Amino acid sequence: VSVLVLGAGAVTLTTRGGTAPAPMGEVLPVPVSVRPAADISYTLAPDAAVHTEAGSAEAAQVGAYLAGLLRPSTGYALPVVQDGQESGVSLLLTGADPVVGSEGYQLDVTEEAVVIRARTGTGLFNGVQTLRQLLPPRIESATAVPGPWTVRGGRIVDYPRFPYRGAMLDVARHFHPVETVRRYIDRIVLYKINHLHLHLSDDQGWRIAVDSRPRLTEYGGRTQVGGGPGGHYTKAQYREIVEYAAQRHVTVVPEIDLPGHTNAVLASYAELNCDGKARKPYTGTDVGFSTLCTTKEESYAFVKDVLGEIAALTPGPYLHIGGDEATATPPERYAAFMNRVQPMVAATGKTVMGWHQIGEPEVRHQEGRVLQYWGRTGADPLVAGAVAKGARVVMSPANRAYLDMKYDEETVPGQKWAGYVEVRDAYDWDPGSHLEDVPASAVLGVEAPLWTEAISTEKEIEYMAFPRLPAIAELGWSPRATHDWTAFARRLGAQGPRWAAMDLGFHHSPQVTWD
Ligand code: TNX
């Protein structure tokens, strides 16, 4: 692996006013290898076309996405032609350096063309996100603005450190409509995030239609924290989210939190309570007080029906079953419950994902399962034990990766139970060595969860996610050898004009010099 870190000279080339192109390689996440070609640059001509691999529908689809990104600000027609020519912007599925693997890409900028080569549509899509950042920030404008649309010359060869780079949105505590989810997807892909975890159920509300249990949404979906109207996704809307994500090479990971975090279920179906009495709807912010009755067969029939319907709607490999904070579940019943539920997930053809509590020793290893770790740095025997049996881990340490933690004492939205998390806290850790006896080889990746007890609007989501989400994204993508706060902070500061052009409201962290 050749890692080329740019020299100090790059610092002087700022993106002032959103009009100048970024120095080659000043991209976030930072690429594996960058070779700038001084004195060379490419300027997009008004009559340029996007040329995609002949006969490839997936390359054409990425081409259409790219043209759709570039048309509003440039005002150019940018036709997409499937002729495989190296001219204008080319998206080709041949000739990439084989190190790029299934998600990486090679990007060459000459005087004549920008050529992105990859082995898959996903690789091309990731290359497109890099190209986007090499263009001046004003490329993100929703209306036509003057160019020139220049990209500096050279070659980037790039691929991810970890295959799983996720963002989670809690749509249960506060419901967030489809358009908000769509826009969130649009924003996270700019930083090569490739999984969207949707926390679809909690004490305060149930957010996905289940045909076999209609009261989940008709009754259990009409509440949220603070007493607002709640809401839910119909199956058609959920499919729309999945499809929108798939077109952006993002896999949706649905979560149904079990056996705790289920007050909305227990309010909707009396028989799932041990005492047979329906619970009252809950709109507060406590955790750990609810549990499905783990000794009743009705509970298992419920879980099987729900997971079956959600699996059928979900093309991605994972079904997340929660498992966190089940303090109302008798400890001896927790493992028995999970030992029945994990095989139900496998029976739907999906891979079990759960919060790291499912790693406890009495819960059997289920082939391929993934634990999402939300604890601190150090040793966690429970997780290490599960990893020794073959579990893989997604790292989401609360004091680093939780986007609902306040930045500092002045932050209005969010919580602070895991401490304040400024952007440097979000960046300065290593998912590959966060936990003793959890080697990087057992780490599937990283995820930044955004819980919404104290976050209700889209603007608050943006403010909490940016600039920390790009920090987590870089930890998931870039080689460890590139880890360098100063260089990262410089590249992050250069995103400011881009976010302004995108009308994205972000936290102007005092730790960063914003362009
Ligand atoms: C803990 S961490 C929870 C969630 C809360 C979150 C708030 C974890 C798996 N569960 O139920 O929303 O803290 O930060």
Per-domain boundaries in the chain: 8-158, 164-479
Give mean pLDDT, residues 499-508. Answer: 97
Measured from the CA of 173, which atom of ligand 1 is nearest?
12
Give yes or no for a contact between 450 and 462, defined as CB atoms under 8 angstroms apart.
no
Distance CA 102, CA 121 (A): 9
Is 373 touching ligand 1 by the criterion CB < 6 Å?
no
Q: Which DSSP helix (H) or strand (E) runs through 322?
A: strand 318-322
Dig out the tokens for 267 from the structure.
């309010």
> In which residue are the tokens 């729900």 written?
306
Q: Does residue 314 carry a pLDDT above 80?
A: yes
SS3 456: coil
State pLDDT tens for residues 178-208. 999 999 999 999 999 999 999 999 999 999 9
Confidence of residue 21 (pLDDT cuts 50, 70, 90): confident
* CB neighbours of residue 430 within 10 Å: 13
Q: Does residue 7 carry a pLDDT above 50?
A: no
pLDDT at res. 19: 74
State pLDDT tens for residues 316-346. 999 999 999 999 999 889 999 999 999 999 9
Give mean pLDDT, residues 154-166. Answer: 98
Dig out the tokens for 287 from the structure.
């955790």
Distance CA 192, CA 476 (A): 9
Give yes or no for a contact between 273 and 218, defined as CB atoms under 8 angstroms apart.
no
Residue nearest to atom 2 of ligand 1 (CA): 374
In degrees rounded to 5, what are phi and psi of residue 81? Answer: -120, 130
Residue nearest to atom 4 of ligand 1 (CA): 451
pLDDT at res. 20: 78
Is 474 touching ligand 1 by the criterion CB < 6 Å?
no
Give mean pLDDT, residues 21-26. Answer: 86
Q: Please tell me the distance between residue 344's alpha carbon and the centre of ligand 1 in angstroms.
A: 25
pLDDT at res. 4: 41
**17 or 370, higher pLDDT:** 370
Cβ burial of 197 (10 Å; 0-12, 13-18, 19+) is: buried
Residue whose CB lies within 8 A of the most ligand 1 atoms, among 355, 357, 406, 451, for a mutation test? 451
| CA dihedral angle for residue 178, residue 179, residue 183, residue 186, rounded to 10 degrees | 70
Is 26 touching ligand 1 by the criterion CB < 6 Å?
no
Measured from the CA of 355, which atom of ligand 1 is nearest?
9
Residue nearest to atom 13 of ligand 1 (CA): 451
Distance CA 367, CA 512 (A): 43
Give yes or no for a contact between 475 and 429, defined as CB atoms under 8 angstroms apart.
yes
Give mean pLDDT, residues 27-36. Answer: 97
Measured from the CA of 417, which atom of ligand 1 is nearest?
14
% residues pLDDT > 70 (the chain): 97
Q: Which of 140, 134, 121, 120 is nearest to 31 (CA)?
A: 134
What does the mean pLDDT of the chain come to?
95
Confidence of residue 15 (pLDDT cuts 50, 70, 90): very low
> Which of 11-15, 118-122, 455-459 is predicted least confidently?
11-15
Tell the CATH topology of 8-158: Chitobiase; domain 2 (3.30.379)
State pLDDT tens for residues 344-362. 999 999 999 999 999 999 9
Residue whose CB lies within 8 A of the most ligand 1 atoms, among 287, 289, 327, 420, for a mutation test? 287
Give mean pLDDT, residues 209-216. Answer: 98
Residue nearest to atom 6 of ligand 1 (CA): 451
Distance CA 515, CA 512 (A): 9
Confidence of residue 481 (pLDDT cuts 50, 70, 90): very high
Strand duo 201-202 + 205-206: pairing = antiparallel
pLDDT at res. 25: 86
Q: Which of 91, 9, 25 is nearest to 56 (CA)?
A: 91
pLDDT at res. 16: 46
ipTM, interface predicted TM-score of the complex: 0.96
Distance CA 179, CA 271 (A): 35
SS3 449: strand
Q: Does residue 237 carry a pLDDT above 60?
A: yes
Tell me what percent of the chain is helix, strand and coil, each rounded to the nearest 5. Answer: 35, 20, 45
Within 33-120, strands assigned E span: 33-43, 50-52, 80-81, 88-92, 105-109, 113-117
Q: Please tell me the distance between residue 170's alpha carbon and the centre of ligand 1 in angstroms.
A: 10
pLDDT at res. 377: 87
Strand duo 164-170 + 195-199: pairing = parallel
Q: Please tell me the distance between residue 396's alpha carbon and the centre of ligand 1 in angstroms.
A: 11
Give mean pLDDT, residues 246-258. Answer: 98
The answer to whether the Cα torsion of 456, 457, 458, 460 is positive or negative is negative
Dig out the tokens for 6 from the structure.
């740019």
Q: Does residue 10 carry a pLDDT above 80?
A: no
Write out the DSSP string of 147-169.
---EEEEEEEEE--S-SEEEEEE
pLDDT at res. 18: 65
Write out the DSSP string of 183-205.
HHHHHHGGGT--EEEEE-EETTE
> Model-level pTM?
0.96
Q: Does the annotation mark 458 as catalytic?
A: no
Active-site residue, from 298, 325, 360, 458? 325
The answer to whether the Cα torsion of 30, 36, 39, 44 is positive or negative is negative
Give yes or no for a contact between 120 and 163, defined as CB atoms under 8 angstroms apart.
no
Give mean pLDDT, residues 102-108. Answer: 98
pLDDT at res. 17: 53
Q: Does residue 2 carry a pLDDT above 70?
A: no
Is 447 touching ligand 1 by the criterion CB < 6 Å?
no
Amino acid present at 71: R
Is 415 touching ligand 1 by the criterion CB < 6 Å?
yes
Give mean pLDDT, residues 151-180. Answer: 98
Q: Does residue 274 carry a pLDDT above 80?
A: yes
pLDDT at res. 12: 35
Q: Does residue 406 carry a pLDDT above 80?
A: yes
Is 37 touching ligand 1 by the criterion CB < 6 Å?
no
Residue whose CB lies within 8 A of the most ligand 1 atoms, among 320, 325, 399, for a mutation test? 325
Is 407 touching ligand 1 by the criterion CB < 6 Å?
no
pLDDT at res. 373: 98
Is 325 touching ligand 1 by the criterion CB < 6 Å?
yes
- DSSP 8-state symbol, 208: B
Tell the CATH topology of 164-479: TIM Barrel (3.20.20)
